[in-house]
A = this chain, B = another copy of it.
Amino acid sequence: MTVFRESLKVHSTGLRPTFFTLTEQVQEIIDRSGVKNGICVVYSHHTTCSVMTQESSFDIAYTGLEYLQQDLTDVLENIVPTCRKEGQYMHPGPLLTEFAAEHGESKPETLNTDAHLRSVFMGRSETIVVIDGKLDLGAYGNVYFIDFDTTRPRDRTVQVQIVGE
């Protein structure tokens, strides 16, 4: 039985929700682990990010997002609208603003309530079954990491934890 972990680093644009395709990198970590059967947990260290597994949509929108990623972003915009000013949501409140300032975060940078809530809806991890050393993603499946924070560009860490044999 093996427990094997590596981290991946990505850098978001901050302009809109950023989707990173990590399929090959996650598969390479499985290859290095030597695990043939088990589970692979792809996990966001950050509370404004998510992981999803989906097909590639081929077509690319003007925003740079694949069509299905744009559709997902549109649906999320209906459920959890982009946070454009204080008071739109209860968070960030005065205590949070003070705490953030003490830790070097400006007021505009705390306006990521939408990203926190979207991360909650989408979940912070995906657990993928590993069969014969391969991610069982379906014929055209991919692993995507999503950064929903659009207040600024961010460095992000993705954990890939494999348990199996």
On A, residues with C-beta under 8 Å from B are 1, 3, 5, 37-39, 41, 43, 45-47, 52-55, 57-59, 61, 66-68, 70-72, 74-75, 78-80, 89-96, 99, 113, 116-117, 119-129, 131, 136, 138, 140-141, 159, 161, 163-165
Contact = CB atoms under 8 A, between A and B. Distances in A.
A91 B116 contact: no
B43 A129 contact: yes
A18 to B, nearest CB: 16
B59 A131 contact: no
A46 B138 contact: yes
Contacts of A95: 58-59
Contacts of A120: 52, 54, 72, 122
A43 B128 contact: yes
